[in-house]
Amino acid sequence: MSEFGNLETRVRRKSLLNKVMTAEACVQFFKPGMDLGWSGFTPAGYPKAVPIALAEHVEKNNLQGKWKFNLFIGASVGAETEDRWAANDMIDRRWPYQTGKNIAKGINEGRIRMGDKHLSLFAQDLGYGFYTPKIDVAIIEVSAITEECGLIPTSSCGVIGEILKIADKIIIEVNTGQPSFEGMHDCLIPRNPPHRQPFLINKADDRIGDPFFPCDPDKIVAIVESKHRDKGRAFSDADEKSEAIAGHILDFFSAEVKAGRLPENLLPLQSGVGSIANAVVGGLANGPFSNLTVFTEVLQDTMLDFFDSGKLDFASACSLSLSEEPGFPRFFDNWDKYADKIVLRPLSISNAPEPIRRLGCIAMNTPVEFDIYAHANSTLVGGTRMINGLGGSGDFLRNAYLSIMHTPSSRPSKTDPNGITCVVPKAPHIDHTEHDLDVLVTEQGLADLRGLAPKDRAQKLIDVCAHPEYRPILQDYFDRACKETLSKGIGHEPQLFDRCFKMQQNLAQNGTMKIKNWDINVDLCE
């Protein structure tokens, strides 16, 4: 027996041991063009052994571009599986979120058809059969299987429940290379309307389901033992800009508490991924607030620091998305310290509007950019190049008690250290509208937009959030837009559509968004 047990101890429904086979033997169940459903969410809890075996089969037999599948997964998974598949041209359709250089390249070159979707809606729509009436083969990673054939997930819940509802065949990877996560999950498969029931979550630590997903044993065609660990993402440390943004947000929280709009222990926190999110969590770990709770979708390494600070009491999420090093080893070595303070829920519950609205979550996420009227772009650079996808940011921002987006005021281009402004006249793609967002923050300052009309909002964002090098450029645009549109009686939200993307055009041609003027008769390359 290994340190964490073996297949015989993890598979408690003993009749399933007759279906044990190698990952390589499972290749027989796959044919090109199939619709596949995987467990996993922001690389955690995803199957490894069988997807790797399929990639090796394609590579050994020169089947690149010939064996292509449609992937339906809760969110991104590890590069050793999905990104390797993309490098082998094994993906045709992909929903709803991904990470990896090869898959992003395939999407932007048109070889992979990706669909983007709010994650909570993707989960329920998958179960409704909107994307495919059935999943041909599901590959689910589990910690254990109960006597009743309940599947106990590993480090995420994702869309396991919805996949099981419509799966034709199921392959189970039992991961014995890490401790069992049994007891950490709150699993529920929502019923379809008109029989759908309320999600009665009143506190972050409430549970409404079971510690496993029920599964039809007759659908299981193979049991595979896996010892692969999650290849979790490591994020860069917080920099000076991230720390400044975190400071503005903490000051804002203090002011809201003083004004009586937030309790002293705030409200359940949702935080996206990345260095700014890490800086905010780090600031909270060292800040004046205590007895805090988290209701989010992803827990990163900094959440362990948050627990260690004694300021965080409990965290609810869909995924334990720790880094491969040092995150997961740290968690496993201190299991008794962290495990009973965390619950992992299905995506359809963790991101559902109902509990987010009821709990009064404070949502904090990072966009690519936002415009002067507070429309935010989270997905498409330049309005066309897909990065990862919308993720769950919209689920929280549209329903939160406070909806906050934070970004540096500028980013470097190849030729200019402040060549890209993250505050633009008009976002070239909009994921979150002005109706969704309450507060926008850069290292320059925090703009509380609640109760402001569009033109007031624009002036405040220019004054407070824009980088100093771009403020006069944006002000000139705004003044021109106001003058021209108001004179025609069309100026509620002034825009000049013949020049609102001139900054982006200049970036493409000259490597900077610092244009000399807004005249339309002047060449960009003066």
So which residues are the catalytic ones? 297
Question: Are the CB atoms for 371 and 426 separated by under 8 Å?
Answer: yes
Please tell me what DSSP assigns to residue 190.
P
Distant-in-sequence, close-in-space partners of 327: CB < 8 Å, separation ≥ 6? 232, 234, 300, 301, 304
Rounded-to-integer distance, Cα 72 and Cα 41, Å: 11
* Burial call 228-266: b when 16+ CB within 10 Å, e when fewer: bbbbbbeeeebeebbbbbbbbbbebbeebbeeeebeeeb
Q: How far apart are the C-alpha atoms of 526 and 518, rounded to whole Å? A: 13
| Beta-strand runs (E) in 347-461 | 362-365, 369-371, 376-377, 380-381, 385-386, 402-406, 410-411, 420-421, 423-424, 439-442, 445-448
Helix (H, G, I), strand (E, B) or coil at 368: coil
Identity of residue 14: K
DSSP assignment string, 495-512: --TTTTTHHHHHHHHHS-
Kindly report the backbone phi and psi dihedral angles of residue 168, in degrees, each rounded to the nearest multiple of 5, phi listed first.
-85, -50
If DSSP states are collapsed to H, E and C, what string results for 92-135? EEEECCCCCHHHHHHHHCCCCEECCCCHHHHHHHHHHCCCCCCE
Pairing of strands 312-317, 342-344: parallel
Q: Are strands 420-421 and 380-381 parallel, antiparallel or unpaired?
A: unpaired
CA neighbours closer than 13 Å in the CB half-sphere of residue 45: 34
Count of other CB atoms within 10 angstroms of residue 330: 17
Which residues have CB under 8 Å from 487's CB, separation 6+?
A: none
Show the tokens assigned to 521. Answer: 């008769």
Helix (H), strand (E) at residue 152: strand 150-153
Contacts of 194 (CB under 8 A, 6+ apart): none
Return d(Cα 126, Cα 141) in angstroms, integer: 19
Is the bond into 263 cis (omega within 30 degrees of 0)? no
Distance CA 381, CA 87 (A): 22
Neighbours of 428 (CB within 10 A): 18
Rounded CA gap, 212 and 299, in Å? 20
